[in-house]
């Protein structure tokens, strides 16, 4: 009982603490790539999620960079990619300044959602259970990314 109360208290305090950051978080979402599919738009602008194990990028092992499918912003290096087994492309770190984050309380969970810092499009959620020294796991919808191999 006491433990449950403490958990609720901690969650509430965290929400209060984080609220000002969410208020400060204001990015205008803007469609830049006119060739986006309906599925891509649903994820990028309505915070949808693609079906796990459907992204061709799960098998992508070449060296290069992952860019925002909407605006082309460079987001991840292939060096940070790893197989998390979740069915979504996963990365241990993002390139500096690539994203802005916001706490998301949907589905009864407290998760950190991230958006492209340049165009505001939703990309995925970041968790603190990554296997590398960063401890981060950026769980990214493959449809939001465009991979450009190193030439
Ligand atoms: Zn973008």
How many domains does the chain contain in total? 1
In a domain, 76, yes or no: yes
In a domain, 87, yes or no: yes
In a domain, 101, yes or no: yes
Q: Catalytic residues, which ones?
A: 139
Q: pLDDT 10s digit of each residue in the chain, 151 long? A: 667 766 666 666 565 555 545 544 455 678 999 999 999 999 999 999 999 999 999 999 999 999 999 999 999 999 999 999 999 999 999 999 999 999 988 888 899 999 999 999 999 999 999 999 999 999 999 999 999 999 8
pLDDT value, residue 24: 45
In a domain, 14, yes or no: no
Task: Tell me, in angstroms, the distance from the centre of ligand 1 to residue 33's CA.
Answer: 9
pLDDT value, residue 23: 45
In a domain, 63, yes or no: yes
pLDDT value, residue 60: 98
pLDDT value, residue 85: 97
In a domain, 85, yes or no: yes
Task: Tell me, in angstroms, the distance from the centre of ligand 1 to residue 123's CA.
Answer: 9
- Rounded distance, CA 86 to CA 125, Å? 12
Identify the domain containing residue 71 by its residue range: 29-149
Domain harbouring 43, CATH code: 2.170.150.20
In a domain, 45, yes or no: yes
């Amino acid at each position: 009982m006491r433990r449950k109360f403490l958990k609720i208290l901690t969650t509430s305090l965290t929400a209060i603490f984080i609220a000002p950051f969410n208020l400060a978080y204001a990015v205008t979402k803007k469609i830049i790539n006119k060739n986006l599919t309906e599925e891509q738009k649903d994820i990028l602008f309505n915070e949808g999620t693609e079906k796990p194990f459907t992204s061709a990028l799960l098998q992508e092992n070449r060296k290069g960079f992952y860019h925002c499918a909407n605006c082309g912003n460079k987001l991840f290096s292939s060096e940070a990619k790893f197989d998390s087994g979740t069915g979504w492309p996963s990365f241990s770190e993002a390139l500096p300044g690539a994203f802005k984050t916001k706490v998301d309380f949907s589905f009864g969970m407290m998760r950190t959602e991230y958006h492209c810092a340049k165009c505001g499009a939703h990309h995925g959620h970041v968790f603190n259970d990554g296997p590398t020294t960063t401890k981060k796991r950026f769980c990214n919808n493959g449809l939001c990314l465009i991979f450009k191999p190193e030439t």
